[in-house]
């Protein structure tokens, strides 16, 4: 609500003039607002970069045996168009992987991976639908999904880069 108090939603002017909320309350709510904004921005940026890397990868030519701009390699049923359709179908799931990483920071790697697996199964179903049962981007999706979950830990004071126990997900799968 425009002009509303960020703590209780009542008239901001009324709450401010009467000092109805403590500085600590205001700081806590402000921190929640900022964290929410930056979590959404991280989801957008990381998923955009992941999608772009998938699309850039298929454009690298030549790639003997793999789909590229000029041939299908050993995949006679795939081409650059099925690859881009598949990558486009995965786009919302890349963002979900970042969100999943943000939401499961306190869970064990096994619990996080179980949730990631469910997201991956949903992504695969959408990929099948977009490509007529082909999975050209299935192989690169898992590393990107794991990376997106891990990137959600970056920038937190209690989790220096590379020290998260979630790195063990990659070693165990």
In this prediction, residue 158 carries a pLDDT of 52
Q: What is the pLDDT of residues 85-100, one digit of tens each?
A: 989 999 999 999 999 9
Distance CA 173, CA 168 (A): 9
Q: What is the pLDDT of residues 148-161, one digit of tens each?
A: 777 776 655 555 44
Distance CA 55, CA 83 (A): 8
**Which residues lie closer than 8 Å to 73 by C-beta, 6 or more apart?**
63, 64, 65, 66, 67
The closest of 138, 117, 120 to 54, measured between CA atoms, is 138
In this prediction, residue 161 carries a pLDDT of 47
| 3-state helix vs strand vs coil in the chain, percent to 5 | 65, 0, 35
pTM over 0.85: no
Give the rounded percent of residues in the chain with a pLDDT score beyond 90.
40
Beta bridge partners of 15: none
Do 98 and 57 contact (CB within 8 A), yes or no? no
Distance CA 53, CA 153 (A): 21
Distances (CA, A) of 131 to 48, 59, 89, 139, 173: 21, 18, 9, 15, 26
**Which residues lie closer than 8 Å to 155 by C-beta, 6 or more apart?**
none
């Amino acid at each position: 609500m425009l002009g509303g108090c960020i703590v209780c939603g009542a008239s901001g002017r009324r709450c401010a003039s009467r000092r109805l909320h403590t500085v600590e309350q205001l700081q806590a709510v402000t921190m929640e607002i900022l964290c929410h904004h930056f979590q959404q921005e991280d989801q957008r940026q990381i998923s955009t970069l992941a999608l772009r890397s998938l699309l850039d990868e298929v454009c690298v030519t030549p790639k003997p045996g793999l789909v590229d701009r000029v041939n299908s390699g050993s995949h006679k049923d795939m081409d650059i168009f099925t690859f881009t359709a598949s990558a486009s179908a995965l786009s919302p799931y890349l963002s979900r992987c970042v969100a999943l990483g943000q939401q499961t920071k306190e869970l064990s790697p096994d619990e996080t991976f179980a949730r990631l697996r469910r997201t991956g199964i949903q992504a695969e179903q959408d990929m099948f639908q977009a490509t007529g049962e082909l999975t050209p981007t299935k192989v690169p999706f898992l590393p990107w999904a794991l990376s997106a979950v891990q990137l959600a830990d970056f920038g937190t004071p209690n989790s220096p880069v590379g020290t998260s126990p979630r790195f063990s997900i990659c070693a165990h799968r």
